[in-house]
Structure formats: structure tokens, C-alpha cells
Amino acid sequence: MSCVRCSAAVENAISSLDGVVSVSVSYTNGRAEVGFDSERLSLKDIERAIKKAGYEVLLDANAARKREFRRNIFFFCFSLFFSLPFFIMMGFMLAGRHISFMHNGLLQLIFALPVQFVAGWRFYRGAYHSLKNKSPSMDLLVALGTSASFAYSVYSLIIGGDTFYFESSAMIITLVLLGKTLESRAKSKTGEAIEALMDLAPKTACVIRDGEAREIPASEIVKGDIILVRAGEALAADGIVTEGNAHIDESMLTGESLPVFKQSGEKVFGGTVNRSTPFYFRAEGVGSETLLAGIIRTVEKAQGSKAQIQNTADKVSAVFVPAVTVISLITFICTALITKSISDALDNAVAVLVIACPCSLGLATPTALTVGIGRGASMGILIKNADSLEQACKIKAIALDKTGTLTEGKPSVTEIIELTAGAKEFLPYIAAAEAISEHPIGEAIATLSTVRGIEVSDYETVVGRGIRACADGNSLIIGKPEWVEEETKEKLDSSVYELYRGGNTVTVAAVNKKAVLAIAISDKLREDSAASVSRLKAMGIKVFILTGDNAQSAQSVCDSVGACGFRAGLLPEDKLKEIEKLKSDYGITAMVGDGINDSPALAFADIGFAVGSGTDIALESGDIVLAGSGINSVADAIALSRAAMRKIKQNLFWAFFYNTVGIPLAALGLLNPIIAGAAMAFSSVSVVTNSLLLKRVRL
């Protein structure tokens, strides 16, 4: 694809097929994402439609980018070889000297012919397909401009004239090809984040089969294989440690530099690196099922999506080429009538055609988004679509879940009160029931007793309140004190509520409708929580805490981190209502939670940030997934969004400014066509280069 109008042409070709549900084509990374009914349409049908529109289908994006760059290099060098005499001639003319033999029209034709119809053939082909697809592109402008110069020169040569523009057509094509070469090189750098992620997966692995260690290609690993990972090696699959222990560098997933200690029974992930001793693990996720492969798919999908701000540029570019063609024609007619000179009219008309650049407009938004999303991925911030990156910079209020977001998410029991004599004998039953729970508080209670041979039945989770179950024939109710009072119809001792002091969470267990134990549980604040909240407030954002925990615990955390306020004792549906209030009071509101219990609020918020503990995270949750622990990544994501939007606005300003100023200057005869061609060639390069600077912006 030669410019953004090509991507529109491919989109139109695919969307016209019966059975296509959705289609998005990215000019920046050369990818098409298509949703279609497989019963009415096949991939081959889609490929045929793309080829019919005049484009190739290449399944390896990296290979396609390298091939494009090599092809651009070849045709630029070819064009430069035959155009070099014209550049030398122009240099001498600017110095006030002349090379008499180069003013021979036939000699100029010999040099210009291969440039026009070999190196420049791509522009004719592109122009033909753009007209055929009713999506006029940059190729049409270049083909019209250079053909006009070349044709007039041939006509002049035939009638015996001495005014030629062969140098204009040849030099314009050479300069445009130089611009396309530099642009393709710069565009390839916008995809470096994806390439870096792909390179993390090792090509081979040491697998234990039939009692022997064998080095095999990573693609041949199957589920259940036992894999040996030596010190310094990257893991080739996701799995569970079966023997040994090691410190694993998971920075490629989480953005955190410190290695994580892994031992038998714990999860490990493909692409991470063993930084200490050898160990064995059992492969559970292989090939496309690994977490790394999922991250790559998420980033690729996001980079191919379109932000709302891009709509303006797309609307302009849709009418840009026809409008410029009309302006060029008007320029030719007016100049010819005023100056009575066909050569002056042709000069100005060609300059208008070649100064105009729809590419800079088309590249302004997607290149900045691609680089921004890629940089986010390298920091453990997975931005799932372009709209999320665009919206994040506008956030006015943020609601934070408490447990696992502001706190470490690893609660521990700090105190136990017996509400009836000898109540601790029920601990095995309580621990057995909580062992089924996936809630952090349940996991903490489950560690209080060793569970052996206790049969748990009728297990039920009451969202936001607790659990019900039967253990060896005993009915259990375990949860919030208020809920247990409702269920047992008895008033709890005041000592139960005194456990709330110091910000503890309190759980009460009732056996056979009788409250027997009160358990105080504490969850430490993350070290960076207070600093992260302070950073968000410094960005002009109101920060609130929404939690299902008690008011005393919420108040303690709120005071510790310096939040603007809190709401406690909330059920999932209550959090959604609080988000609605915040949106009404402040405007664009974000929710930060663990992506599971907070899913209604995450979905309802303008932006949902799903925070996970390290790699233990669901990619499907939230608009922006934060693989690193702590909420400092939220501030990083917002800072990244603001930096990306600044780049987009800069790009759009210069693209509009360049065309708004350049086209009138060309129409008035103040720009030589060759200078106009050079300016057009480098306008796209400047936009892409400015976007690449996002990699170096301090957040």
C-alpha cells in the first residue's frame, strides 16, 4: 500500500463481500483484521478480493516489511542512477554554469525513459487501481504530475522545440522514491515492540522424553512435556514447575526488573528468563496458547485499530486527491490565461500535484498510536484499542478498588476470637470450605488448619457477603459480620466489631446457625500506593476508593494513601452506581480493579484498568491491562496517552499546515516542481520520525 487511501481501498474491497462483519486495515503496519461468517466466506475469498483490488496478500508481516524496504531501495537506486545526470545538470545551473550536451532533448529522453516507466511504473499501477477502487491516492498525483512533464517534453522534442521538463519528472520520481524508502524504514521501526516480543520466545527447548534430554524445535513441544531450563535460558512454553526452583526474570511481561522466585507447583511463562539455577517444568500452554502469544495478539490488534481523532484526517484524505487535481487544473488554466505561457502553466500545475501529500495526513494518527501502544507493551501496559489510548488522557476521576489494587492482595490472619467455648475445633471445617474459594480472604483463612478427609458440599458464594457450605454434615456460614447476624438472627458480641481497629477486615464463621469464630485479617498496602495516588492527583485527577470492605478499613487506607474520598461496603452492582455518580460529577471516569469482582464497574467506566498481580492476569478484562503490580502503571498509562495525543496533534498540525501553505505557493508559481516533489517526499518521513520520538519521551 502506497498511502492511506490504499488502506481505504482494501477495506472497501473486503467489506463489499457477503459475510463480512467487520474490517479494519492499517496502512502503518500493513495488516488487515477481518471478522467474517466462515459458513458464507473463506480466507481464500478474502484474499481474492484483495488481489482483485490490486494488492498482494502476505502472511508474514515482518517479511513483508523487509521485502517492501528492499524493493524501495532497489527502485530508488535504479532511479537515482538514471537521474544522476539531471541532478548534476541542476547543480551546475544553480551555480550559474551549463552543461551544453545535457540540453540535448533526445539524450534527456534516454535518461528519463527508464525512470518514468520502470522506476515510476508503481505509480501508474497504483493510480490505475486507486481509480478502479474509487479511492484516489498519492500515486495518482505523482503519475499525473510526472506524466504531464514527460508528455510535454516528448511533444516539444517531436515538434523541434527546446523547452524540456524531463529533469522534473525524473527528479520528482527519484525524490518520491527516496521518501518512500525512508518512510518504509521509519514505519518498520514503529513495529519494533512486536518484533522484540516475538524474539523473546526461544527457537529450541530441552525436553525430557523416554528418560532422555532432547533438544527439539520449540514448535514441536506438546502439552505435558517436561522441559529442562538451564541458567540464562528463556522458557519456550507456559507451565508448572515440577522440580527445582529458580529466580525468573518476568520483566518482559510485567515491566518489573526484579526476578521472581518460583518453586514447585508455581506457574511460569514462555519468554521469561531463568536467572539462577536449572529447574524442570511441565508444559501447559504451548504455541499460540502461551501468555506471550496472547500479548502479541492484543498489541497487534490494538495497533491496527483506529482512534476517533483519526476520523477527521480520514474524511479530509477521502476528498484530498480529487480536490488537489481540480486545483491543479484550475491553476493550469488561470496561469496560461494570465501569463500566456504553457510552460509556466505546466510548471505551476505540476508543482500543485506533487506538493500535495495525503500520506502525511494519513500517517499522523496511526504512527503515533502504533509507537505509543508498542511502548506501553514494553512497560507491561497492554492497551487493547486505540480509543482507550485516546480517552485515557481525558480522565478526570479514578475509582480504585482496595484489595489487590492499593494493597498487596495477600491477606494474612492477625487475630482470632472464640465466640463460643472450644470453637477452634471447627477450624478444619472452616478451612476446608474456604479452600474452595478463590477470594484472597478465603485463601488466608484456608491456611489456618490442615484439611484432611473433610467432605465439603452445597458450596455457594454470596457475592459481596461470604459463602455457605456443608462440611461433614455441619452447615457453615462464613462472611461479613452483618450478613452472619442476618443469617443466624443473633447479635454478635461488641468484641467482634473492635477487631476493625487498625483497618482490619473481619470475617465471622457460624456453624449450624451459631456464630463460633471471629477472624481479623490484614492486607498490607503496596509500597508505592501513596506515591502513585499523589502522582495521579498531581495530574489533576480526583482519586476515590470503592471497596466491599468495611468503612473503618477503607478510612484507614484512604488516609494512608491520601485519596479524595471512599465508599465502603459496596456490592459489585453498588460500585457500578458509584461510577455513574462520578461520571455525572466529574466527567470521564476510570475504574481500576482486578478484572474479576470489579467487572461490572470496569465495563461501565469510560476506561477500565485491569490490574493483575504479576502475570496472573486475564487479558480479556478491562480496556487497559496492567501486568505489573501496583497502580503506578495507571499513571504511566495516562502519561503515555497524553504524550501520544500531543504527538498526534503535532503531526496533524504540520500535515494540515504543510498542505495549506504548500498548495497555494505552488499554485502562485512560488515553488519549483522539483522542490515541491522533495518537500512532498519528506513530509511523510517527518511525521513518522516525530511519532518515533515517543519512544524517548519521559513519562
Contacts of 595 (CB under 8 A, 6+ apart): 602, 608, 610, 611, 612, 617, 618, 620, 621, 622, 625
The pairing of beta strand 238-243 with beta strand 589-593: unpaired
Contacts of 53 (CB under 8 A, 6+ apart): 9, 10, 12, 13, 129, 132, 133
> Which of 400, 429, 397 lies closest to 561 in space, CA to CA?
400
DSSP assignment letter at 133: T
Which stretches of 189-300 are assigned E, i.e. beta strand?
204-209, 212-217, 226-229, 238-243, 246-249, 260-262, 267-268, 273-274, 279-285
**Whether the Cβ atoms of residue 529 and residue 550 lie closer than 8 Å to each other:** no
Exposed e or buried b for every residue in 12-48, given b needs 16+ CB within 10 A? bbbeebeebeebbbbbbbbbbebebeeeebeeebbee
Residues labelled as active-site residues: 401
C-alpha cell at 171: 527528479
The sign of the CA dihedral 501, 502, 508, 514 is negative
What is d(CA 164, CA 157) in angstroms, rounded to the nearest whole number? 8
What is d(CA 204, CA 547) in angstroms, rounded to the nearest whole number? 46
What is d(CA 566, CA 554) in angstroms, rounded to the nearest whole number? 7
Sheet architecture: strand order including 246-249: 260-262, 246-249, 273-274
Exposed e or buried b for every residue in 397-409, given b needs 16+ CB within 10 A? bbbbbbbbbbbbb
- Neighbour-count burial of 326, counting CB atoms closer than 10 A to its CB (0-12 exposed, 13-18 middle, 19+ buried): exposed
Three-state DSSP state, 663? helix
Contacts of 266 (CB under 8 A, 6+ apart): 240, 241
What is d(CA 324, CA 357) in angstroms, rounded to the nearest whole number? 10
C-alpha cell at 461: 458464594
How close are the terminal C-alpha atoms of the chain, in Å? 34
SS3 content of the chain, % helix, strand, coil (to 5): 55, 20, 25
**Which helix (H) or strand (E) segment is 65 a member of?**
helix 61-94
C-alpha cell at 252: 518482559
What is d(CA 281, CA 227) in angstroms, rounded to the nearest whole number? 5
Instruction: Report CA 224 to chain centroid distance, whole Å.
Output: 32
